[in-house]
Amino acid sequence: MSILIKHGTIVTAVDEFVGDVLIEGEKITAVGANLEGKADKIIDASGKYILPGGIDQHVHYSFDFKGERVRGFETSNAAVAGGTTTVIEFVNQEQGKGIAETIANYDQKEVAPYAMADYSFHGVICDPRDEVFAEIPTLPEKGISTVKLFMAYKGLPFHSDDEAIFKALRASKEAGVTVMVHAENADVIDALQKDCLREGNTTPYYHAVSRPPLVEIEATERAINLAKMADAPIYIVHVTAKEVMETVRGAYSQGVPVYGETCTHYLVLDKEDLARPNFEGAKYVCSPALRTKQDQEALWEAVNKGWLNAVSSDHCGFNWQKQKHMGIDDFTNIPNGSPGVQDRLSVMWTYGVNQGKISKQRLVDLFATTPAKNNGLSEKGHIGVGYDADLVIFDPDHRAVISNEDSLHGVDYNTYEGMKMEGKVESVFLRGKLMVDRGNFIGEEGDGKFIHSKAYGLAYDAKEKRTSNV
């Protein structure tokens, strides 16, 4: 099957031009102006943008918080409907099992039969035995090239201490595996949470009070120092605050291979959302906590200038009526995380591009191209010959308001409810298959496939080993 998309404005991380894209089978086989030749189907994209399908390198379809679990891959159509064609899922290692073994079981039972987006995995180290660190260098041959450790969440099974992080860094570096960390000081949070509860401060707003920026700054500095001691690169997930971003930028400018992302919600929401009445604030309980409008400005500048190299959703589909209400009398029991996989492109376009904070090229880079590189997905994230035909046709003129009624994520609220949405995902191709047609999802469960993540995704000191040519 061949498809020729004509007269669209093609946007890449470095370019923008009116042209055509030829898809043959699962691949892009030609890109250029006025492509001639036959195709089984011709689509006119005049007046529309053609963007690469997004890579969301930070999603949770299996996260469990105090016994409550998020919605799974049966809701991954939401990603595709929002222009994200590949998601990278954090899989918590099961106690007593290996990382690859845990992931293979999960993939077979809960991902492959349901996935509607392509997917890859980060292994979350939860059982830090020596055999587990010894397993790390073998992961890339199984298509897993990133591991993550949580410095936060004291007392929960996925919390890690510094010894585990240091050992993971040492084991990873020679194999080109990237260590990612959730950087917050778990002990201080625990003490501050106890203070809040003792004083009768139980509402969602105290989630932010008990997790001030300094707990993130301290842990980020510590993670960077651990990386320095291990002489290994490190990736800081979900950076939220100006000073945290400056810590990452400062270390990088001194030659430390430290990289970071932020997430959509930290760019447009702030801690006052946690104070919404009638327990609505619980919808915004995610960690690290939402910050201030000044932090939002600093984060926009950081993603514009490349000091943070990706914008992820940190999608976490907990239901408000039941699951978030676990914490009605005690904010520490509110499951952490908010949904957002469908809204990443809309929010970045409306509040980033259309408000002059980032260019369309920067959007493509943050949304697709660099997350693909970070994770060694060498055939994803770019519109070029030989790349997977993951494409979004985007109508910039559409105007709407974000509503949970239009969300496919399978939970009872939308984090961005009521915010304006400029532009619309009109069509989405996943490896050449039309998955979204005139705004309607038409794909099927099982359309998504596992994509091998190659080692040496991060460009630190191994450029010759880089897997992407962009």
Site for ligand URP, rule CB under 6 A: 60, 63, 182, 286-287, 314, 316, 336-337
DSSP assigned state of 418: T
Q: How far apart are CA 310 and CA 84, in angstroms?
A: 14
To 10 degrees, what angle do helices 162-173 and 213-230 make?
40
Residue 99 or 236 with smaller CB distance to Zn ion: 236
336 binds, among ligand URP, Zn ion, none (CB under 5 to 8 A by kind): ligand URP
Q: Tell me the β-bridge partners of 394.
A: 49, 425
Helices (H), 148-185: 162-173
Q: What one-letter code names the amino acid at 24?
A: E
Residue 339 or 432 with smaller CB distance to ligand URP: 339
63 binds, among Zn ion, ligand URP, none (CB under 5 to 8 A by kind): ligand URP
Closest residue to Zn ion, judged by C-beta, is 182
| β pairing state of 433-437 and 420-430 | antiparallel
Element (H, E) at 77: helix 77-81
Residue 184 or 426 with smaller CB distance to ligand URP: 184
**Residue 470 CB, nearest distance to Zn ion (Å)?**
26
360 binds, among ligand URP, Zn ion, none (CB under 5 to 8 A by kind): none
**Residue 265 CB, nearest distance to ligand URP (Å)?**
9
- Within a 10 A sphere around the Cβ of 163, how many other Cβ atoms? 10
DSSP assigned state of 166: H
- Within a 10 A sphere around the Cβ of 218, how many other Cβ atoms? 17
Phi, psi of 230 (to 5 degrees): -90, -5
| β pairing state of 310-312 and 258-263 | parallel
Residue 336 or 342 with smaller CB distance to ligand URP: 336
> For residue 437, what are its two tokens?
């047609």
Quote the longest CA-to-CA distance of the chain. Answer: 73
**Residue 28 CB, nearest distance to Zn ion (Å)?**
31
**Residue 32 CB, nearest distance to ligand URP (Å)?**
41
Closest residue to ligand URP, judged by C-beta, is 337
Residue 63 or 121 with smaller CB distance to ligand URP: 63
**Residue 370 CB, nearest distance to ligand URP (Å)?**
19
Residue 177 or 237 with smaller CB distance to ligand URP: 237
Residue 128 or 439 with smaller CB distance to ligand URP: 128
390 binds, among ligand URP, Zn ion, none (CB under 5 to 8 A by kind): none
- DSSP 3-state helix, strand, coil percentages of the chain (rounded to 5)? 35, 25, 40
Residue 236 or 391 with smaller CB distance to Zn ion: 236
Q: How far apart are CA 234 and CA 43, in angstroms?
A: 43
**Residue 438 CB, nearest distance to ligand URP (Å)?**
33
DSSP assigned state of 406: G
Q: How far apart are CA 310 and CA 304, in angstroms?
A: 10
**Residue 110 CB, nearest distance to Zn ion (Å)?**
18
> For residue 45, what are its two tokens?
């994209």
**Residue 361 CB, nearest distance to Zn ion (Å)?**
27
286 binds, among ligand URP, Zn ion, none (CB under 5 to 8 A by kind): ligand URP
Q: Which residues lie near Zn ion (CB under 5 A)?
A: 182, 314
